[in-house]
């Protein structure tokens, strides 16, 4: 794909935008909010379905090659919650803190200090809203969620998500390290490899 061609990133999440601009630093990315495009309706049942819905919506509105992600936290011991509802786990207008507090409350309800968990990211890229062959990739990083909150970086559940190695919260590692090991980084690496084939 030509490096000079503008690519729409179908998100209005500033935390995601900041990370993706670093991960896709060779691409000319613009955000859907720059073009006044509203968020897509996320009514799919999987991360892939929601990423595809966002990509199709962004491509239709912008007429640009569009990349969309759907990502979240999965805690198998909490019935695989919050999953696709990660951004609105504690309600439609929930803040990151509200969502983290709900996880902590669920752990405490079960008299647990932590539970195994993983972050997942699915990326989808399409040339047009009716593109029959989307490019897609995914990435996962495993660790645990804890009732302990630590770190000043990141966003979402990063303050209560602890890596297996080193045993530190995602919010405590540097952005440089995060952008090599995170679910988003892994998905982006695979996605870029697919993009280069076009």
Catalytic residues: 70
Angle between helices 183-195 and 14-23 (to 10 degrees): 50
Distance CA 95, CA 115 (A): 22
Q: Write phi, then psi, for 90 (nearest 5 degrees).
A: -95, 10
Instruction: Name which of 85, 70, 77 is nearest 144 in CA terms.
Output: 77
Beta strands 6-9 and 28-31 are: parallel
Cα–Cα–Cα angle for 167, 172, 174, rounded to 5 degrees = 110
Give the residues across from 120 on adjacent strands.
Answer: 72, 140
Output the CA–CA distances (angstroms, integers) from residue 118 to 56, 98, 129, 145, 175, in the order listed: 27, 19, 31, 9, 19
Q: How many CB atoms lie within 10 A of CB 82?
A: 22
Q: How many CB atoms lie within 10 A of CB 109?
A: 9
């Amino acid at each position: 794909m030509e490096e000079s061609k503008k690519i729409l990133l179908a998100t209005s999440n500033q935390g995601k935008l900041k990370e993706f601009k670093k991960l896709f630093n060779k691409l000319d990315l613009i955000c859907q909010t720059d073009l006044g495009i509203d968020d897509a309706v996320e009514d799919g049942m999987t991360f892939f379905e929601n990423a595809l819905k966002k990509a199709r919506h962004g491509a239709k509105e912008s007429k640009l090659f569009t990349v969309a992600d759907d990502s979240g936290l999965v805690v198998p011991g909490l019935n695989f919650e919050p999953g696709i509802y990660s951004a609105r786990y504690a309600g439609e207008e929930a803040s990151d803190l509200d969502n983290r507090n709900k996880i902590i409350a669920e752990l405490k309800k079960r008299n647990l200090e932590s539970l195994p968990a993983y972050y997942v990211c699915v990326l989808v890229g399409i040339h047009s809203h009716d593109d029959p062959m989307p490019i897609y990739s995914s990435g996962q990083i495993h660790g645990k969620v804890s009732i302990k909150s630590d770190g000043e970086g990141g966003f979402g559940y990063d303050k209560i998500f602890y890596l297996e190695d080193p045993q530190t919260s995602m919010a405590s590692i540097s952005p440089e390290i995060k952008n090599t090991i995170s679910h988003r980084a892994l998905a982006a690496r695979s996605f870029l490899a697919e993009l280069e084939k076009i």
